[in-house]
Amino acid sequence: GAGVSQSPSNKVTEKGKDVELRCDPISGHTALYWYRQSLGQGLEFLIYFQGNSAPDKSGLPSDRFSAERTGGSVSTLTIQRTQQEDSAVYLCASSPRRVGPNSGANVLTFGAGSRLTVL
Amino acid sequence: AQSVTQLGSHVSVSEGALVLLRCNYSSSVPPYLFWYVQYPNQGLQLLLKYTSAATLVKGINGFEAEFKKSETSFHLTKPSAHMSDAAEYFCAVSGADKLIFGTGTRLQVFP
């Protein structure tokens, strides 16, 4: 597609429920990132996929969080047994290749985000 | 490890005034640096990036930033603020394989 698409745009759930957030990256982009944006906290890295390599999960805050990327394209972020502190905007971004000082100044293109509210 | 610090979580200026948003970085290797802007209920949009080609980088919407290695800074400026510039601005540095973002600066523009 023309841009990074995320769904749902808004999700309200009850504490303890599971939620799934979807990201459809730009076609052909091999790198896909998830970030979490909490009020006053900036953007917190969660997880990164690059092609068929094992994902970098170092930013996931707990084992209630998981993500997968099927066929090197669409990604789903799953939060199990949601807690109120999980309330945030979850942003997905993609890039032609991974970003980093050894990979050139690849630019991340972000989706509009999924706003999660846990009651 | 790489990191960025944005000084001032809120900046207020009058329309037509100079905009200055501060960013200092820490990096063990020559950095790639970025400024992104986030308008309400939208994702982040790239304003400009520094890739070592030139220390003064021009971006969209009249913004520019200057890389100063001696000061480890990459401050964002715009000579004359418009009401439409009201948004949140994020500075970022390339880590090993991800972007590391600052906590953001919310810019308010008053008429």
pLDDT in tens, A6-26: 999 999 999 999 999 999 999
Q: Is the pLDDT of residue B43 over 90?
A: no
Please, are residues A97 and A39 in contact by the beta-carbon 8 Å criterion?
no
Q: How confident is the model at residue A112 (pLDDT cuts 50, 70, 90)?
A: very high
pLDDT band at B44 (very low <50, low <70, confident <90, very high): very high
Beta strand residue intervals within B2-43, DSSP E: 3-7, 10-14, 19-26, 33-38
In chain A, % of residues over pLDDT 90 = 71
Q: What percentage of chain B exceeds 90 in pLDDT? A: 79
CB of A93 less than 8 A from some CB of B: yes
| pLDDT of the residue at A92 | 96
- Find the residue in A nearest to B100 (Cα): A45
pLDDT at B13 over 90: yes
Residue A1 confidence (pLDDT) above 60: no
**Which residues from B are below 8 Å from A112, CB to CB?**
41-43
Is-contact A23 A34, C-beta < 8 A?
A: yes
Distance between CA B11 and CA B110 in Å, rounded?
11
Tens of pLDDT, residues B89-110: 999 998 778 889 999 999 999 9
CA-based max dimension of chain B: 42
Q: Does A114 touch chain B if contact means CB atoms closer than 8 Å?
A: no
Average pLDDT over residues B48-74: 92
